Amino acid sequence: ENLFFDVLNCFMFQTSERISHCRLQSNMRILVTGGAGFIGSHLVDRLMGNDKNEVIVADNYFTGSKDNLRKWIGHPRFELIRHDVTEPLLVEVDQIYHLACPASPIFYKYNPVKTIKTNVIGTLNMLGLAKRVGARILLTSTSEVYGDPLVHPQDESYWGNVNPIGVRSCYDEGKRVAETLMFDYHRQHGIEIRIARIFNTYGPRMNIDDGRVVSNFIAQALRYYPLLPSAFNGTAIVDASASALHPCSGEPLTVQAPGTQTRSFCYVSDMVDGLIRLMEGEHTGPINIGNPGEFTMQELAETVKELIDHEVTIVSVENTPDDPRQRKPDITKAKELLGWEPTIKLRDGLPLMEEDFRQRLGIPKK
């Protein structure tokens, strides 16, 4: 019996010593789930930039890609694990950024049952891991928890207006349960939690065909080539040199009806800064992280047209069910508690994304 307590004491002493040693040296071992995705890979770049951090990424590559992390593969402080968060994960870490979950409506609706499992079982597993190793865990929740909001702008005290049985529910109700789990583990087991409610984010590395509005409009504007009247018979033909550059020429910007619905777009570097401040700060949240600049989808299309190609056409297409009509974060809490606010305006961020998309699509500037 004594031997058992000796071993236990020794283990506990070593563990707490290891953790306090790590924290003293600010040596952190950090797990990023979903780290091969859009926001996750930018977060990894920032975390790896601090040469005291060791970063482990766990990702099943559903919407993410190794390519987003290629500069870190083989680095001694970096590890990439193919792992689905709906399965238990055993690693020893000090912090967990839990991002794993498809974010684009096309992908989260593709297999809604899997999306729910990712949000619920995935978050449960990461909380179980946080509990076992004493790690602090941050969940990337979403403005979708406000549903089609009846309060505008949305602050964190608003409980939302969500359809529990709609086609978006796998995502927004999934994230609501994930938030509930976070707070229950916090209250019941004393886990250190952080919840970020992320509003629409854009920037380089977004999947070109992931269906989100900013990536759609930029890709469409770049792939657009005007229809030229034929010199011979007056019928329209596609400019031949343009179609040789890209087979999908002639794509207009598709504004889903009615086009008056609004969103607020945050550039990815601002988002990553907000997430790190939240993790390092003293507040559990939930805290809105987003850019309060609000645009209708028609305005967004016109801005993309003005910045990328004046000749591009804008068409109205059918919308999907339960599309929120308005969305704009109240970021008072983020400003006061984290000293954070976004610095990059939409007009400045879009050209940075354009450059990345041009490179990936192989379309040089005209």
Per-residue burial over 149-161, b = 16 or more CB atoms within 10 Å of its CB, e = otherwise: beeebbebebebe
59 lines the binding site for ligand NAD (CB under 6 A) = yes
- Residue 225 is among the residues annotated as catalytic for this protein: no
* Residues belonging to the chain: 366
Alpha-carbon gap, residue 181 to 325, rounded angstroms: 28
Alpha-carbon gap, residue 177 to 295, rounded angstroms: 29
- What is the DSSP pairing of strand 193-198 with strand 136-142? parallel
CB-wise, 60 or 261, nearer to ligand UDP? Answer: 261
- Find, among 59, 50, 51, 52, the residue nearest to 32 by Cα: 59
CB-wise, 121 or 361, nearer to ligand NAD? Answer: 121
Which of the listed partners (ligand UDP, ligand NAD, none) does 40 bind, with a CB threshold of 5 to 8 Å by partner kind? ligand NAD
Residues 6+ positions from 272 with CB-CB distance below 8 Å: 39, 42, 43, 46
Q: Please identify, among the stretches 16-24, 48-56, 96-104, 338-346, the one whose residues bind ligand NAD according to the rule CB under 6 A.
A: 96-104
Would you say 227 and 160 are in contact if contact means Cβ atoms under 8 Å apart?
A: no
CB-wise, 37 or 204, nearer to ligand NAD? Answer: 37
Q: Which of residues 83-122 bind ligand UDP (CB under 6 A)?
A: 88-90, 105
The Cβ-side half-sphere exposure at 63, using a 13 Å CA radius, reads 29
Which of the listed partners (ligand NAD, ligand UDP, none) does 39 bind, with a CB threshold of 5 to 8 Å by partner kind? ligand NAD
Work out how close the CB of 282 gets to ligand UDP at its nearest, in angstroms, rounded to a whole number: 24
Task: List the one residue from 118, 154, 216, 291 that touches ligand UDP (CB under 6 A).
Answer: 216
53 lines the binding site for ligand NAD (CB under 6 A) = no
Alpha-carbon gap, residue 240 to 245, rounded angstroms: 9
H or E element that contains 202: strand 201-202
Q: Please identify, among the stretches 45-53, 190-198, 249-257, 272-280, the one whose residues bind ligand UDP according to the rule CB under 6 A.
A: 249-257
Question: How would you write 301-358 as a 3-class SS string?
Answer: HHHHHHHHCCCCCEEEECCCCCCCCCCCECCHHHHHHHCCCCCCCHHHHHHHHHHHHH
- Residues 97, 108, 146, 171: which is the catalytic one? 171
198 lines the binding site for ligand NAD (CB under 6 A) = yes
Q: Please report, in angstroms and rounded to a whole number, the separation of the first and last CA atoms in the chain.
A: 78
Alpha-carbon gap, residue 119 to 145, rounded angstroms: 13
Residue closest to ligand UDP when measured from CB atoms:
128
Task: List the one residue from 28, 31, 54, 63 that touches ligand NAD (CB under 6 A).
Answer: 63
The two three-digit tokens of residue 80, written as one number:
């990439």
Q: Please identify, among the stretches 193-201, 233-241, 327-335, 339-347, the one whose residues bind ligand NAD according to the rule CB under 6 A.
A: 193-201
Q: Total binding residues for ligand UDP by CB under 6 A?
A: 22
Work out how close the CB of 78 gets to ligand NAD at its nearest, in angstroms, rounded to a whole number: 16
Task: List the one residue from 28, 44, 122, 173 that touches ligand NAD (CB under 6 A).
Answer: 122
CB-wise, 109 or 283, nearer to ligand UDP? Answer: 109
Name residue, tokens 């699509």.
361
140 lines the binding site for ligand NAD (CB under 6 A) = yes
Work out how close the CB of 96 gets to ligand UDP at its nearest, in angstroms, rounded to a whole number: 10
Alpha-carbon gap, residue 109 to 123, rounded angstroms: 19
- Find, among 169, 112, 110, 106, the residue nearest to 142 by Cα: 169
Task: List the one residue from 39, 80, 206, 255 that touches ligand UDP (CB under 6 A).
Answer: 255
Task: Give contact residues for ligand NAD (rule: CB under 6 A).
Answer: 33-34, 36-40, 59-64, 84-86, 99-103, 118, 122, 140, 142, 198, 200-201
Task: Give contact residues for ligand UDP (rule: CB under 6 A).
Answer: 88-90, 105, 124-125, 128-129, 131-132, 200, 212-213, 216, 254-256, 261, 263, 297, 319, 323
Q: Which residues are catalytic?
A: 171
